[in-house]
Amino acid sequence: MNQDFLLFEAREQWKFNLPLTYFKPLSNIISGILSIRQKWEHIFNKPAGILTRDYLMEKYGQPATASLFIPDHILPDAALVEALQNLPPQSRLTDHENRLLGFRLGTGQRFSVPDELYRTLDGIKKRIIYSKPYKAVRRPFDLVFLNQDEISADLARIQPQAVSCPEGAECYGNHPVYLRGKQQIHKAVFDLTEGPIFLDDDVKILPGSYIKGPAAVLGGSMVKAGTRIYNGTTLGPWTKVGGEIKNVLFQGYANKGHDGFLGDAVIGNWCNFGAGSSNSNLKNNYSGIQMWNIGLRQAENTGKMFLGLIMGDHSKCAINTSFNTGTVVGVCANIFTRNFPPKFVSSFNWGGADFNHDYAPDKAMETARVVYGRRHIDFTKADEKIFRKVYSMVKEME
């Protein structure tokens, strides 16, 4: 199908997905294998228009003329896409709680700032109720529990080569291994009893590794010797991992290269874990987990028994750091503490609990330039503007 469409940030929704949305719009967040933007682009067979906050537009914005507009926290599925395709002009699609799933105009229109779009949306009174289940990222931890199904959904979209067992691996189970490009696999064990495994181009799987599907390892990533990866895990591009990992979504360019456990977590771009670092994902009394929400400025009940860590972009922790159940770490935090870090570590924090100093943006950018350079990525003027804007926002919001 071919459809001009635009993904936009629903009012205030980006705030509720902080810290993951400080440095990028939600449309650029990976869920499964593809970003939310890429999922919609596969369906509509066209590049997405992107409308986001003003300080992100230079790097991520894609102004476009469109007649169909979709909030960027909504994930596609066949039934929802059909409902959006059939949406009459000058109408909005909502669920029973009046939460917006999309709207259509009679003719193509181009918006330069979100407020223009919101004013137009406010003028659309015709409402069509969508009664079927659908998937949305309303909180960062939603990504944890969507990831396993999204791996399988994205495989259906991209349709990579399927093999029963690639060279260099020992496989058991009936699901396939999907390959894109070339990989180096050395005496690894692939458990395909519960779902498939996807290995992207330039992936390295070192000896003694165990991977249980559904799981995805994206381009340039490395699974170090003896690593155990359990179902629901995505390693975003150029991620290096070791130790034990269960149901973790790495956005990419992250390093957890040593022993230690991460479970039921979302890890932003450019994060680093010192050797032996771990998170708890289950309380000793098996009770429900609360998690700090930056946009609400308060803790909220997640309704989950298993939930580990949400870590924002550019954050790092020292060796043997132990994160408590349901911890949130902001962006550009550097954690080195003798005790458990607090359950909310603020952004641009230097120390964690014991020191808790401010981490100056110039220092944070100095480190970012180094790590970008190691991956042959330019740190641009647009990146610098985003860093400085995020720093000023953090001082107001956290």
Please spell the DSSP secondary structure of 137-195, one letter per residue: -SSTTHHHHHHHHHHHHHHHHH--EEESS-TTEEEESSS-EEE-S-EEE-SEEEE-SSS
Structure confidence at residue 91 (pLDDT): 97
List Cβ neighbours of 391 (8 Å cut-off, separation of 6 or more): 332, 348, 361, 364
pLDDT number for residue 357: 79
CA 171 to chain centre: 29
> How much is the pLDDT for 339?
85
All residue ranges of the chain with pLDDT < 50 are none
Tokens 């994205």 correspond to 154
pLDDT score for 224: 98
Task: Write the DSSP symbol of residue 284.
Answer: T
Q: What is the pLDDT of residue 141?
A: 98
Q: What are phi and psi of 109, to 5 degrees?
A: -140, 150
Structure tokens at 154: 């994205």
User: ∠ CA 194-196-197 to the nearest 5 degrees?
Assistant: 125
Give the C-alpha separation, 344 to 18, whole Å.
Answer: 12
Task: Match 């010192």 to its residue by tokens.
Answer: 274
Angle, helices 381-397/361-374, rounded to nearest 10 degrees: 140
pLDDT at 366: 96
Q: How far apart are CA 174 and CA 350, in angstroms?
A: 48
- pLDDT given at position 170: 98
CA quadruple 126, 131, 134, 139: dihedral sign: positive
In whole angstroms, give the CA distance from residue 26 to residue 17: 8
Task: Quote the pLDDT of residue 352.
Answer: 67
Domain 142-397 architecture: 3 Solenoid (2.160)
Distance CA 334, CA 30 (A): 24
Q: What is the pTM of this model?
A: 0.96
Q: Report how far residue 27's alpha carbon sits from residue 198's, in angstroms, rounded to the nearest whole number.
A: 22
